[in-house]
Each structure stands twice: as C-alpha cells, then as structure tokens.
Amino acid sequence: MKQALGLIEYKSIARGLAAADAMLKAGHVELIQATVLCPGKFIALVAGDVGAVQAAVERGFNFDPTFAVDRFVLPNVHPAIFPALTATTPVEPRGAFGVVETIDAASAVVAGDTAAKAGNVELLEIRLARGMGGKAFVFLCGELAAVEAAVRSAENRLAEEGVLVATAVIASPHPDLTF
C-alpha cells in the first residue's frame, strides 16, 4: 500500500540515476517517477510504507551528497497525488480552476498534497519542472469555495519556505480554456 511518498533531487543526471537505483535496492518501495528536470537536474519519487520510503530516501540522498540537492518524505500522502504526478487523473476539469506555481518540483508535490487534504477538490496534474526553467505547478478543480480553500492552504504551507511563485483561482473558466 502506498502510504508515503519520498523524493530525492540531484544536480547531476548520472549521479541521480545511480542514487535512484540505490533507493530501489534499499527496501520495498515502488518507483513512481525518475526523470530529468530543467535545468539539468534529476528527481526520483518512490512510494510505499513510511519506514521503507524513509530508508530509501536516506539511502538515495546519501548515495552521493556532493550532488544531492533536496529530499523529503510525505507520510500519509493523499491518494490523488499518484495519478496527478503522471497526469492520469480520471477526472474531467469542472467548476473552478486553481493553480499553484512553485520554484521547484519538491514544493509542487507538497503543495498538491496540502491542497488535496484541505478541501473537496480534484487534483488534475502536478507538473514537475520539465521545460519550465525548474518551476513546477499543481492544477486542480472543484467548487469555488473548495478550490479557494485548497489554494490558500497550499499558499500558507509554502510561504514559510519561500518557494511559492504565484497562485490563481479562476471562478468560472471560459469553456475554451484548456490546459
């Protein structure tokens, strides 16, 4: 069961890939995503029970600390995070739209988890820093009040870390607005 999500970020693609391998060999975790991000960084996300994810993240981060940039473990992760990370959410956008833009991939995952737990919203996508100069974003929808609450909750969570770029809530999106 996917109870936790863990991420490592490396400033070297080669060393990040080797660290991701070390993560998978550290315990019983599932690789959710291992990919190159702008500008030439590498991230690996794994899921599993909390203890296994913590062990895998520590092993991956400490594999080569010279190139390691960041890491985190989110225990009790909201289940909507997983399809949002792969843009396979089975929900059509409806109601109000919310967007949370962050300076890095790790912050977007945290923002998505925070927003999903804050209100009755649907996470549509968490796009991680590909072709966006290192930035990332969370795209969600739902009833206006729920979207506003979810976006505000993510803003509050990220503000203390200084990783929030901007947010937007579109109360009544034009029918031709697609993303």
- The model's confidence at residue 135, banded by pLDDT at 50, 70 and 90, is confident
* Chain Cα centroid distance, residue 42: 14
pTM: 0.87
Same domain (yes/no): 87, 68: no
Residue 21 domain flag: yes
Q: Are residue 103 and residue 51 in the same domain, yes or no?
A: no
Please check the confidence at residue 132 and state whether its pLDDT lies above 70: no
Instruction: Let me know if residue 152 belongs to a domain.
Output: yes
DSSP 8-state assignment for residue 95: B
In a domain, 8, yes or no: yes
Residue that finishes a domain, picked among 49, 75, 101? 75
Residue 161 contacts residue 138 (beta carbons within 8 Å): no
Boundary residue ending a domain (75, 98, 124):
75
Do 85 and 166 fall into the same domain?
A: yes
Q: What is the edge-to-edge ordering of all strands in the sheet holding 68-75?
A: 30-37, 41-48, 4-10, 68-75
108 and 156, same domain (yes or no): yes
Q: Is residue 178 part of a domain?
A: no
The phi and psi torsions of 108 (rounded to 5 degrees) equal -65, -40
Are 56 and 98 contained in the same domain? no
176 occurs within a structural domain: no
Does one domain contain both 117 and 147? yes
Asked if residue 127 belongs to a domain, the reply is: yes
- The Cα 136–Cα 96 span in angstroms is 20
pLDDT at 1: 58
* pLDDT tens-digit readout, 115-128: 999 989 999 999 88
Residues 61 and 97 in one domain: no
CATH code, domain with 9: 3.30.70.1710
74-111 pLDDT, tens per residue? 999 999 998 998 878 877 888 999 999 998 888 999 99
Tell me how many domains the chain contains.
2
**Same domain for 86 and 17:** no
Choose one of 32, 56, 75: the last residue of a domain: 75
Domain range for 47: 4-75
Element (H, E) at 58: helix 50-63
3-state secondary structure of 99: strand
Q: In whole numbers, what is the pLDDT of the chain averaged over residues?
A: 91
Please check whether residues 63 and 85 belong to one and the same domain.
no
